[in-house]
Structure 1
């Protein structure tokens, strides 16, 4: 990515991280409380939200995951930088 990163880039990346943190915490909770229907519903809601945010990120900024979990544009765009873990 040759253009400078905007505030929108960082805000979207931070939102993805926040939602994924909630998913991590809900996973730990549900490991010990598998019958908590409200928590399961919250997990599913946040899982959907996470997928939507990541889809939005990839549409705007390029691949987010490797090993077939994200599609590449043509030409191969994994060489574009910075990657999310570099910012």
Structure 2
């Protein structure tokens, strides 16, 4: 697996973890341990997304930073990537 796919896989794992913690916190809102874990994984995901964006470009259209031109459509679509 190349570096791009490894980093994207890590982001997906963080997304899954955050979703599960979100569901748990919905029913256990006073659990400090779960809340601390949520904050930790939120930060890890944010750092991983920032690294991915710097190295490989945006993951979502909201991350496009070019103010002169809409560059989102210039990258290959997910099904065009190898």
Would you say how many aligned residue pairs link Structure 1 and Structure 2? Answer: 79
CA separation in 2, counterparts of 1:58 and 1:80? 15
Other structure's SS at 2:60 match: coil
Other structure's SS at 2:74 match: coil
After TM superposition, where is structure 1 displaced by more than 3 Å over at least 4 residues in a row? Answer: 73-76
Say whether the 8 Å CA contact 2:64–2:72 is kept in structure 1.
Answer: no
TM-score by length of structure 2 reads: 0.83
TM-score by length of structure 1 reads: 0.79
Q: Larger helix proportion, structure 1 or 2?
A: 2
Say whether the 8 Å CA contact 1:16–1:53 is kept in structure 2.
Answer: yes
Question: Cα deviations across residues 25-77 of structure 1 (Å, max 9, x unaligned)?
Answer: 000000000000000000000001111000001001111122xx313346543
Partner of 1:72: 65
**Any stretches of 5+ residues in structure 2 without a counterpart?**
none
1:44 aligned onto 2:39 = yes
Please list, as runs of the form range in 1=range in 2, the aligned pairs for 1:1-80 lying within 5 A after superposition: 7-66=2-61, 69-73=62-66, 76-80=70-74
> Which gives a bigger RCO, structure 1 or 2 (Cα 8 Å, sep 6+)?
1
